[in-house]
Structure 1
Amino acid sequence: MSVQRISTGIPGLDAMLHGGLIPGRVYLVKGAPGTGKTTLAMHFVMAGVENGENVLYVTLEEPAENLKADMSKLGFKLYDPHFSLIDATPTAERYVLITDFFEEFAENIEKMTDAIKRQFQEKRYTRIVIDPITMLKLTATKEIEYRRAFLSFIKSMMRLKTTVLLTSEVERTDIEEYLVSGVIELKAFNTSGRLTRGVRITKLRGSSFDDAIRPYEITDNGIVVYHDRMVTLP
């Protein structure tokens, strides 16, 4: 019996995932700044938009206007009615305007979980991105409290039957990696003075996957993964 899959919006990555992601689960994309985590996440939600799905993108670090400008240059249709973007970044302008998205989504992971549930009262989203989850981890005072809240978040998302992609800039994400259903890692290597990018899948519950490090590029049209090539390290 074959498992249902949904596309990440990147054909080469889908091939590494042996068909794509299993829907209704929570996944983690981790990597250093500049490796393309936000671009990958945008491919994921835009693949949903192309299918006529409602998708939700919560940005916690990059202001919405910057995100729209950068991603529109790559050809992403951020003004589609199926795409909802929530800016939860703590900017000075936001405090002047007294909007409540920062308080709702970014104060801690419990509030963000509740805020997403409220969004579902108005519209059902099949795909959600939280970019980056790192910002919420910094709000936790105790590791055990964050672990409980993160587990509760995952259970809530599964009950909503939505597929969630989290991004993280933290190299060590033990709790998140242990609890999520899959982990995609983006890496940058310096090989003979040249920058080489490589993507590796380290976990995918309920499925086999390609665990080799495959090269990828960030092009004018987004990310291209070369699933039939290998990253050659010195």
Structure 2
Amino acid sequence: MGRISIGVPGLDKMLHGGLIPGRIYLVKGGPGMGKTTLSMHFLMEGVRKGEGALYITMEEPAAHIKTDMGKFGFNVEHPNLKIIDATPTGTKTNILGDIRYMEFGISFDKLIAGIKDILKEERYTRIVIDPITMVRVILNNEAAYRKTFLLFVNTLISNDATIILTMESDEVGVEEYLANGVIELFKFVERGKVLRGIGISKFRGSSFDEEIRPYRITNRGVEVYHNESLFMGEEY
């Protein structure tokens, strides 16, 4: 079965060649662990190959995302990359004119309908929703969240795209059961130093590296050291 690169060579190695296309993947980790950066690698790899890439931000304003990701050298102004601001703030201030704003804080039915409209306008082979956690936070009702999440999944998979959802929860929820793969970002403290580790806890349809490997967030984005063990003393 063919694979697609996630845009981070070390992680592709851990995935034994990359992601299986047309499926949904979950990236989990705490704040500041690099979930957005990792997701942007995935989208920009598609852009580099001439694919259409769609990024939907549900927490950070799109203008902030563009500024922060631009610092890593990502070409966030590329015409093949579309950034949608779906932050549930109810305000349209500080949103750049080339970013389509949609207010979804009141009803996530609008979000799903909006995504359907976007997918009809243009073909996107890579989609990121960052973070899906915001749906759970705002709905604040487990039954309503499960229904909304299932609608999300059904809407996205019908487009035959490869999708990454990010999530900040440490709990095992409906997202992990429905995702085809789960990538987790960890933080450890060893001898007074903070160590970052990346692991794959689920990857349907493929073997994968089951060891937690070290990674860093550099000025070029996320770098994964697939040949190294996490606890290596002074180097990491």
* TM-score (ref. length: structure 1): 0.91
CA distance in 1 between counterparts of 2:103 and 2:90 reads 13
Counterpart-to-counterpart distance in 2, 1:108 and 1:91: 12
Residue 93 (structure 1) shift: 4.3
Give the stretch that moved more between structures: 154-163 or 126-135: 154-163
Q: Name the amino acid aligned to 2:6.
A: T
Q: 1: distance between equivalents of 2:17 and 2:179?
A: 19
- CA deviation after TM superposition for structure 1 residue 214, in Å: 0.2
The count of corresponding residues between Structure 1 and Structure 2 is 230
Identity %: 50
Aligned-partner Cα distance in 2 for 1:42–1:178: 24
Structure 1 counterpart of 2:134: 135
Q: Distance in 2 between matches of 1:64 and 1:170?
A: 22
Letter in 2 for 1:30: K
Measure, in 2, the Cα distance between the counterparts of 1:130 and 1:33.
16
Segments of 5+ residues of structure 1 without an aligned counterpart are none
Q: Which residue of 2 aligns with 1:44?
A: 42
Given candidates 2, 19, 22, the residue that maps to 1:24 is 22
Secondary structure at the aligned position of 2:139 is classed as: coil
Amino acid at match of 1:101: Y
Instruction: Report the counterpart of residue 218 of structure 1 in structure 2.
Output: 217
Task: Give yes or no for contact 1:9–1:46 (8 Å, CA) kept in 2.
Answer: yes
Q: How far apart are the structure 2 equivalents of 1:10 and 1:54? A: 19
Equivalent position amino acid for 1:128 in 2: I
Matched residue type, 2:72: L
* Counterpart amino acid of residue 223 in structure 1: V
Cα distance per residue 1:54-112 (max 9 Å; x no partner): 11101111111211111111010001000001112244641799x983424x5455432
Tell me if the contact between 1:108 and 1:140 (Cα under 8 Å) persists in the aligned partners: no
Question: Which range moved further: 82-91 or 195-204?
Answer: 82-91
Change (3 A) 1:169 1:96: closer
Q: Which amino acid aligns with 1:44?
A: F
| AA at the equivalent of 2:51 | E
Between structures 1 and 2, the one with greater helix share: 1
Aligned to 2:81: 83
When the two chains are superposed, the root-mean-square deviation of aligned CA atoms in Å is 2.1
Residues 202 and 160 of structure 1: CA distance in aligned 2, closer, same or farther (over 3 Å): same
SS of 2:194's partner is: strand
Task: Quote the Cα distance in structure 2 between the aligned partners of 1:13 and 1:79.
Answer: 25
Q: What residue number does 2:186 align with? A: 187
Contact kept in structure 2, 1:61 and 1:132, CA below 8 Å: yes
Cα 1:154–1:15, aligned 2, differ >3 Å: closer, same or farther? same
Query: Structure 2 regions of 5+ residues with no counterpart?
Result: none
The answer (yes or no) to whether the contact 1:191–1:233 under 8 Å persists in 2 is no
